[in-house]
Amino acid sequence: MLQKGNRSVVMVSGAALQLFFGIIYVWSVFVLPVSEEYTWPVADAKLVSSFLLGFFVLGMLGGGRMEKRLGTHRQTLAGGTFLAVGMAATAFIPAGSGWLICLTYGIAGGFGVGMGYGAVVSCVPKWYPEKRGLATGVSVCAFGFSTVVFAPLIGELIKRYSLRSTFLILAAAFLLVTLALSSFVRLPEAAGGGRGIDGRGKRQYTTGEMIKTGRFFLITCSLMLCTSAFFILNPSFVTLANERNIGSMATLIVMITGVASAVGRLAFPLISEKTGREGATVMAIGLTALCSFALCFAQGLLFMVIVAVCAFCYGGYSGIYPLLTGDYFGLDNVGPNFAAVMCGFSVSALGFPMILTRLFTGTSLFVALGALCLAGVALIIALVLSKKAAPETTADIASGA
C-alpha cells in the first residue's frame, strides 16, 4: 500500500526541484549581462539557449537509460550536481572566452536539467496511479513557473552582487536544494510501496520496442508539429508587440506568457482526466492552430490574449505528453520512453525556427504555423483510430506481442 504521507512528500519535493530545474527557460535574463561581462556578441550569447535545449533532451535520454541502474534519487542528485557545477564554472570563465559558456552552462547545465526533470516526471506519477494527471501537472507546472520566480530574482541579484557572484549564489542554492530533496524522489517500490505500474495490466514497452511502433511515430511527430508555433513566436513576442503598437506592454506580455505556460501545465493534465488524453491534446493543438491563424490580424488586447493562449497550450503539452506516453507504452519505462518522445520537441525547437522563418514571412508564417498544428491534430486522430482498430488484448500482453 502506498502511504499518502510518503507520496505527498515525493510530490512536494519533486515540485520544488522542478522549480529550480526550470531555470533552463530563464537564459534570456542573462544574455545582455553575459555579453557585457565576457565581451561576447549578443547574438552568440543567445545561442546558449539552443545548447541548453538540445542537451536538456539528451540529458533526459541519458538519464532515462540509467534510471534503473542509478535509481531516480541518484539520477536527480546527479542532474542537480551537473547543473550546479556548470553554473559555478561559468563564474570563472575569463573575459573574451564567452564561448566556453556553451560548454559549462549550455551543455553541462542542460544535460543536468534533463536528467533531473526526467527523473521527477518519471517518479511522481507512479505514486498516484489514480491521479496521474494531477501528479504530472503539479510537477511540470512548477518547472514552468520557474520563469516567474527566477527572472526578477536573477535581475536583482545581478544588480546587487554582479553577474559572476550571481552564478555562484545560484550554483550553491541549487546544490543545497538538490542535496536536501533528491533522496525523496524514489519509486514506490524503493519507498516500500507497490510495483509502480498503472494496475490495468497493460504491456510495459521498453524504449527499443516502443520506437518500432507506429503509435510512437504519431505521438512524437504530433509533439514536433504542435510546439513549432511557440518556438517561433516566443523569441519574437517583444518585436511583435512593437509592430502591433503595444510595445510599452512588451515586458508584461513576457510575464503573462510565463504564468500562462505554468497554468497550462497543470490545467491540461486535469482536463485530460475528464476528456481523455487524446481529447485534451486535440483541444490544445486546435487552440494553438486557431491562435496562429488569428495572429494574421490580431492587434492590441486581442494580441495579448492570443499570445497568452499560445503559451497556455504550450505548457499543456508538457503535462499531456508524459501521460500519453505512459498510457500507450506503460509506466515501467516511462522515463526513457518519454525522453525518446521528446526528440520531437528537440527537432521542433532547433529546426522549425531556422527553416520556417526563411521560407515564410509576415502573414504567411502564421498561416504555415496554423497548418502545422492542424497536421498535428490529424496525427492525434490517427492515434485514436489506431487504438480502436487494434486495441491491446490480454493475449498480446501475455505473449509480449
Question: Residue type for 92, please?
Answer: F
What pLDDT is stored for residue 146 in this prediction? 85
Q: Which domains does the chain have, with CATH numbers?
A: 4-184 (1.20.1250.20), 207-389 (1.20.1250.20)
What pLDDT is stored for residue 224 in this prediction? 95
The answer to whether 104 and 89 are in contact (CB under 8 A) is yes
Query: Any residues with CB less than 8 A from the CB of 117 and at least 6 apart, and which?
Result: 18, 21, 56, 59, 60, 79, 143
Helix axes 72-90, 110-123, angle to 10 degrees: 160
- Quickly tell me which residue has 494553438 as its cell: 288
Count the neighbouring beta carbons within 10 Å of the beta carbon of residue 218: 22
DSSP secondary structure code for residue 105 in this structure: I
What the block records as the C-alpha cell of 396 is 498480446
Residue 393 in this model has a pLDDT that exceeds 50: no
| Digit-coded pLDDT (tens) for 374-392 | 999 999 999 999 987 776 5
354 vs 46: CA distance, rounded Å? 14
Query: Any residues with CB less than 8 A from the CB of 60 and at least 6 apart, and which?
Result: 114, 115, 117, 118, 335, 338, 339, 342
pTM (whole model) above 0.85: no
Best CA proximity match to 225, nearest among 116, 329, 381: 381
| Digit-coded pLDDT (tens) for 60-107 | 888 877 777 888 999 999 999 999 999 999 999 999 999 999 999 999
Residue 397 in this model has a pLDDT that exceeds 90: no
- pLDDT band of residue 357 (cuts 50, 70, 90) is confident
Grouping H, G, I as helix, E, B as strand and the rest as coil, residue 396 is helix
What the block records as the C-alpha cell of 184 is 525523496
- pLDDT band of residue 5 (cuts 50, 70, 90) is low
Best CA proximity match to 230, nearest among 369, 367, 362, 375: 369
74 vs 85: CA distance, rounded Å? 16
Q: For 239-258, what is the mean pLDDT?
A: 74
- pLDDT band of residue 237 (cuts 50, 70, 90) is low
Q: For 253-273, what is the mean pLDDT?
A: 87
| Digit-coded pLDDT (tens) for 95-142 | 999 999 999 999 999 999 999 998 998 888 888 888 888 888 888 888
Phi, psi of 220 (to 5 degrees): -65, -45
What pLDDT is stored for residue 3 in this prediction? 52
Best CA proximity match to 303, nearest among 294, 316, 311, 312: 294
155 vs 150: CA distance, rounded Å? 8
- Above pLDDT 70, what percent of the chain? 91
DSSP 120-179: HHHHGGGG-TT-HHHHHHHHHHHHHHHHHHHHHHHHHHHHHH-HHHHHHHHHHHHHHHHH
Question: Residue type for 202, please?
Answer: K
Best CA proximity match to 293, nearest among 273, 309, 282: 309
